[in-house]
């Protein structure tokens, strides 16, 4: 395993250039170019504000912000899963012909989604500043471990899904449906307090995304340090899935080329 990590480290330039290619290449040729990275979340935010503040009145104060701070991390997670499941099969040519540690592909895909999320956070911070939200420095510091936890979790899932998709192409479509259901089963559009008490334990500890979303909202919307229990359970689940994901991936990758 140590040897494997060393090898992936040796291919760090490949990860870097694939991420760069993805980010730079995505909007190449369009007039606004890289600005689209900011325009997308900004318009999303405007639409939510219109719908939830003017059309559908919600009891929650600043519901658009309540939703937005959870939605941006969720979009990172769900695109990592839905799009990441094809990150091996879509690079068929490369995988069949060139040797490189296969982990590079899921890692660069998730990393490029992650960078995208970080850029969207600029929009969040800008809106927070304009709407005169209080910035709690200690809480903001907690954002780093929360983001890293989500990154590890997303990577773990993408490892499994991308490997399974090679053997079983339906996985990518199944994931499209599954992430939609998952979104409604996570405290994104509503607060976890709305979940009946008898289900809350299952709700919180079966879904690894629940504590992560709650932590984001605590930090950004409420401006408070998340509970340690929330952080720890998120971290544990993240590490667990990452390890399982990597081991699964490593087992399956030996026969990628034959199965494609």
Partner 1 sequence: MKPENAIEVHNITKKFKVYLDKGHTLKERTLFSKRRKFENREVLKGISFEVKKGEAIGLIGHNGCGKSTTLKMLTKIMYPDSGTIEMNGRVSSLIELGAGFHPDMSGRENIYINASIFGLTKKEIEERIDSIIEFSELEDFIDNPVRTYSSGMYMRLAFAVAINVDADILLIDEILAVGDVAFQAKCFNRLRQIKSEGTTIVIVSHSLSQLELICDRSIWIHEGVIKEEGAPFDVHPKYMSFMANNTLSKAKDKQDKKKEESKKEEKKAVEEKPEEAKTEEAAENTEETKKPEDSNRWGSNEIVMNSVTVTDEKGVERDTFLNTEPIYINIGYDNPGKIDNSVVGVAIYRDDKVHIYGTNTLIDMSKTLPLKDKGTITLILDRIPVNAGNYIFDLAFHKPDGFNYDFWRDVFRLRINNVKGEAGAISIEHSWKSE
Residue 255 CB, shortest distance to partner 1, in Å, is 8
State which residue, 98 or 144, has the beta carbon closest to partner 1.
98
Concatenating the DSSP letter of every residue in 90-153 gives GGHHHHHH----TTHHHHHHHHHHHHHHHHHHHHHHHHHHHTTPPP-HHHHHHHHHHHHHHHHH
Is residue 104 within 8 A of residue 5, CB to CB? The reply is: no
State which residue, 13 or 134, has the beta carbon closest to partner 1.
13
Rule CB under 8 A: which residues touch partner 1? 10-14, 16-18, 20-21, 24-25, 28-29, 93-100, 168-170, 254-255, 257-258
Residue 173 CB, shortest distance to partner 1, in Å, is 9
Is residue 71 within 8 A of residue 116, CB to CB? The reply is: no
State which residue, 28 or 132, has the beta carbon closest to partner 1.
28
State which residue, 49 or 91, has the beta carbon closest to partner 1.
91
Tell me how far apart the alpha carbons of residues 130 and 179 are, in angstroms, rounded to a whole number: 32
State which residue, 20 or 201, has the beta carbon closest to partner 1.
20
Backbone angles phi, psi at 132, to 5 degrees: 55, 45
Residue 57 CB, shortest distance to partner 1, in Å, is 43
State which residue, 227 or 259, has the beta carbon closest to partner 1.
259
- Residue from 249, 105, 102, 84 nearest 175 by CA: 84
Residue 67 CB, shortest distance to partner 1, in Å, is 34
State which residue, 157 or 256, has the beta carbon closest to partner 1.
256
Residue 95 CB, shortest distance to partner 1, in Å, is 8
Residue 99 CB, shortest distance to partner 1, in Å, is 5
Backbone angles phi, psi at 196, to 5 degrees: -55, 145
- Residue from 240, 253, 254 nearest 162 by CA: 253
Residue 7 CB, shortest distance to partner 1, in Å, is 9
Is residue 155 within 8 A of residue 245, CB to CB? The reply is: yes
Residue 197's Cβ-side half-sphere holds a number of Cα atoms within 13 Å equal to 0
Tell me how far apart the alpha carbons of residues 249 and 152 are, in angstroms, rounded to a whole number: 15
Tell me how far apart the alpha carbons of residues 34 and 39 are, in angstroms, rounded to a whole number: 9
């Amino acid at each position: 395993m140590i040897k494997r990590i060393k090898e992936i480290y040796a291919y760090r330039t490949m990860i870097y250039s694939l991420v760069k290619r993805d980010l730079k290449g995505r909007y190449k040729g369009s007039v606004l170019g890289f600005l689209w990275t900011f325009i997308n979340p900004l318009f999303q935010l405007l639409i939510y504000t219109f719908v939830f503040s003017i059309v559908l009145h919600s009891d929650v104060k600043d519901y658009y912000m309540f939703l937005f701070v959870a939605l941006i991390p969720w979009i990172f997670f769900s695109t990592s899963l839905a799009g990441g499941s094809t990150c091996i099969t879509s690079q068929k040519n490369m995988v069949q012909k060139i040797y490189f540690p296969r982990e590079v592909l899921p890692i660069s895909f998730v990393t490029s989604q992650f960078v995208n999320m970080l850029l969207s956070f600029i929009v969040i911070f800008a809106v927070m500043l304009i709407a005169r939200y209080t910035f709690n420095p200690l809480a903001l510091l907690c954002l780093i471990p929360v983001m890293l936890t989500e990154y590890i979790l997303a990577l773990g899932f993408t490892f499994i899904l991308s490997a399974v998709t090679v053997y079983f192409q339906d996985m990518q479509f199944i994931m499209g449906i599954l992430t939609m259901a998952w979104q409604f089963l996570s405290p994104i559009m509503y607060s976890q307090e709305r979940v009946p008490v008898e289900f809350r334990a299952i709700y919180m500890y079966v879904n690894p995304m629940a504590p992560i979303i709650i932590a984001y909202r605590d930090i950004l919307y409420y401006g408070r340090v998340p509970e340690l229990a929330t952080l720890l359970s998120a971290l544990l689940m993240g590490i667990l899935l990452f390890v399982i994901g990597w081991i699964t991936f490593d087992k399956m990758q030996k026969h990628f080329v034959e199965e494609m």
